[in-house]
Amino acid sequence: MNQPNPVSRTSDNPLLADWLTAYGLPPFDLVRPEHFEDAFDVAMAAQRAELDAIANQAEPPTFANTLAALDQCGRLYNRIELLFGNLTVSETSAELQAVQRTMAPRLAAHENAIYMHAGLFARVDGLYRQRQQLALAAQDLRLLERVHLDFVRAGAQLSGEARQRYGAVMQELAAQCTTFSQNVLADENSFLLELKTQADLAGLPPFVREATHTVAVQRGLGENSHALTLSPSLTEPFLSFSARRDLRETVWRARALRGAHEGATDNRPVAARIMALRQEQAQLLGYANYADYELVDRMAGNTAAVLKLLNQAWGPAKAKAQEDRLALTAMAHDLGEPSPIEAWDWRYLAEKVRARKFDLDDAELKPYFTLDNMIAAMFDCARRLFGLHFVEQHGLSLYHPDVRAWEVQSADGTQVGLFLGDNFARPSKRSGAWMSIFRSQSGHQGGTLPIVINNNNFAKASPTLLSFEDVKTLFHEFGHGLHGLLSQVRHERLAGTNVLRDYVELPSQLFENWALEREVLQRHARHFQTGEAMQLALLDKLHAARRFNQAWATLMYTGPALIDMALHSLPHGTRVDIAEFEAEQCRLLDVPQDIGLRHHLSHFQHLFAGSGYAAGYYVYMWAEVLEADAYQAFSETGNAFDESTARRLLLQIYSAGNSQEPAQAFRNFRGRDPQVEAMLRKRGLLTN
């Protein structure tokens, strides 16, 4: 086969031309799905040539000619891969999905070729072995240690048949994970529940009716129609307010059964195959199971530490849930609802109990939480903490009309980066919320400024009103965004969110705390019709209710986290029936049937759409221990925006990337190791 000609393709492929756009954004208006395969061919060949040049140079390895050079190579490939990855989750199409299926194993093979490059690893390994004699700066030593670990964990020390088999395993894993995520999206898009009568809308407050009307119009059902998709921003309020128990059950089951239908989108055999491949991957690298492999590069370090943390919450949450269950059952009797209650009843009854106990319901809060006002609130918090200013930019060519862009400036007007917000649900976008980048911060050769994006899946309306959980999600993802924007490190491999997985959620979960600060809400939570600030009495009710139903939330999260650890702790060669395994784990854990699981294995994208959170769903609670303790540093000053604490937070956490061990970074900020009590108290599981 003839090799691709980079010169002929450069002239007509916008992915390979210089991106002479504002801020160096991708040329979204010019890019087509058919451009990617050729562009990847050229970019992969270019990166391999760069790597060969590093490996084959005559000079002995030094930090500059090997590690620094490695950190800077592959920029053409990286920018194309970041664009491709973002589009496939944010604005996909049948054509782009076809390219994704084709390219997934090829991109995995390319990454495998990098880490299996014997000449390159020999140079990295040689430097690593003499690292204590090199007198490297702390950040340079950190890069050397991290890159060496990257190579080892990717199989660089394998040889012979094991080396070949490892490459094949990684290619098939990439293909299977792509199939898994595309199947979930297909199942979500195939569901549409039309609410045809006023009886179908019973109990729904105006903001839910407005959102379901918008969906119906978007789906072509007519101006007087209402409809429901499986977007959490629709299903969660529907399950909280709908008086139609039969429809609540329909929606709950549809969400639970994503990826668990016979036919083309059945993810049960896909997940089973992913598990077999992961077991083999771990075995090839010398680990007893996949969890042991992943936890080598996590703060937790081993499964015992993970299980200790999760069980500290699981037992108390089950006990507290029993108290809550009695209150919900009493409410069901008062409303004439059947008992025992079911999982599709819990949110609905809990909302009724909250309204009675605290004189507060989500419908009362939502009019104060417009999306625009909450965006302004999070920007204001970033200004007061870190001196940042966000200046919206209009007229940029972006990949979808819903996407907005802001230039991020420091207090003196210096450009820090570009922030994109893509906040609305649509069929071309996967569910959930996440942060990503189109370009990383780097301090090399004058530096590059980051382009960071936050994705949410709010139900679009006029105006878009958020629940308080939506507000926390908005702040959470923005915490990730700030982690990427504020990065100030020399090496791209250490920049921004390139940190250990059970540390990466610290900046995001920590930032959620400012969403509940009274002065933030008094300033920005204003009624969408009257402009009136949220009254102190309503703020008091919101604060009083903040721990309500936390046992349910804890069990919904901790159950899947425990099942994740059990699944990925299975030894090599264990055949897994995903449905049977989940059912057995639910029995062993005694998962309450009327609460259930937030994620079932057939649609658990954290685990199976990629490896990032495999044997790692626990990381949210691990990071919650860190953030609950970290936020106390502000509470202890009596000022949520205390300047000296904010400066320390910026220096040690938000700008530091992976330039130091995370445990040490936390100690540098807090003055000690984290303590679990703050997290348990925050969840209402510890009262003293």
DSSP string, 130-149: TGGGS---HHHHHHHHHHHH
Query: To the nearest whole percent, how much of the chain has pLDDT over 90?
Result: 93
Mean pLDDT of 645-653: 98
Whole-angstrom Cα distance, residue 216 to residue 233?
Answer: 15
User: Strand ranges (DSSP E) for 110-237?
Assistant: 193-195, 226-228
The token duo for 235 is: 């299903």
Q: At residue 445, does pLDDT exceed 70?
A: no
| Confidence (pLDDT) at 223 | 87
Mean pLDDT of 355-376: 93
Q: How many CB atoms lie within 10 A of CB 688?
A: 4
Of 302, 281, 117, 337, nearest to 347 (Cα)? 337
If phi > 0 it is left, if psi is from -120 to 50 it is alpha, else beta; for residue 600 that is beta
Axis crossing angle, helix 343-358 with helix 245-256, rounded to the nearest 10: 120
Tell me whether residue 477 is one of the annotated catalytic residues. yes
The token duo for 625 is: 């221990």
The token duo for 253 is: 């089951």
Mean pLDDT of 282-307: 97
Contact yes or no for 112/284 (Cβ under 8 A): no
411 SS3 class: coil
What would the DSSP string read from start to end of 340-393? S--HHHHHHHHHHHHHHHHS--HHHHGGG-BHHHHHHHHHHHHHHHH--EEEEE
For 443, residues 6+ apart whose C-beta sits below 8 A from its C-beta are: 488, 489, 490, 491
Amino acid at 185: L
Q: At residue 444, does pLDDT exceed 80?
A: no
CA-to-CA separations, 203 to 245, 247, 250, 346, 494, in angstroms, rounded = 11, 12, 16, 15, 50
Query: To the nearest whole percent, how much of the chain has pLDDT over 70?
Result: 98
Domain ranges of the chain: 6-157, 191-256, 367-548+620-682
The single-letter DSSP state of residue 465 is B
Q: How many CB atoms lie within 10 A of CB 2?
A: 4
Give the pLDDT confidence of 406-437 residue by residue, as tens digits. 999 999 999 999 999 999 999 999 999 999 99
CATH match of 367-548+620-682 with 1.10.1370.40 = yes
Instruction: Assess whether the previous peptide bond of 14 is cis (omega < 30° from 0).
Output: no
The single-letter DSSP state of residue 2 is P
Instruction: Assess whether the previous peptide bond of 340 is cis (omega < 30° from 0).
Output: yes
The single-letter DSSP state of residue 672 is S
Write down the H helix ranges in 456-571.
468-485, 501-511, 518-524, 536-544, 550-568
Give the pLDDT confidence of 475-513 residue by residue, as tens digits. 999 999 999 999 999 999 999 999 999 999 999 999 999
Q: At residue 8, does pLDDT exceed 90?
A: no
Q: At residue 6, does pLDDT exceed 60?
A: no
Mean pLDDT of 392-406: 97
CA-to-CA separations, 77 to 6, 39, 167, 392, 610, in angstroms, rounded = 13, 8, 20, 29, 20
Contact yes or no for 528/210 (Cβ under 8 A): no
Mean pLDDT of 456-462: 92
> Could you tell me whether strands 451-458 and 415-424 are parallel, antiparallel, or unpaired per DSSP bridges?
parallel
Contact yes or no for 143/493 (Cβ under 8 A): yes
Give the pLDDT confidence of 27-53 residue by residue, as tens digits. 999 999 999 999 999 999 999 999 999
The single-letter DSSP state of residue 526 is B
Q: In what order do the strands lie in the sheet with 451-458?
A: 389-393, 404-409, 415-424, 451-458, 434-439
669 membership: H or E segment, kind and range: helix 662-670
Give the pLDDT confidence of 234-291 residue by residue, as tens digits. 999 999 999 999 999 999 999 999 999 999 999 999 999 999 999 999 999 999 999 9
| Confidence (pLDDT) at 2 | 37
Residue with tokens 């450069």: 10
For 663, residues 6+ apart whose C-beta sits below 8 A from its C-beta are: 299, 673
CATH match of 6-157 with 1.10.1370.40 = yes
**pLDDT interval class at 7 (50, 70, 90):** very low
Of 204, 235, 223, 142, nearest to 490 (Cα)? 142
Long-range contacts of residues 97-104, Cβ cutoff 8 Å, at least 24 apart:
97/182, 98/33, 99/33, 99/34, 99/36, 99/37, 100/178, 100/182, 101/175, 101/178, 101/179, 101/182, 102/37, 103/36, 103/37, 103/40, 104/174, 104/175, 104/177, 104/178
Contact yes or no for 151/121 (Cβ under 8 A): yes
Give the pLDDT confidence of 72-131 residue by residue, as tens digits. 999 999 999 999 999 999 999 999 999 999 999 999 999 999 999 999 999 999 999 999
425 membership: H or E segment, kind and range: none
The single-letter DSSP state of residue 271 is H
List 91, 172, 188, 477, catalytic entry: 477
Residue with tokens 């599709």: 344
| Confidence (pLDDT) at 4 | 41
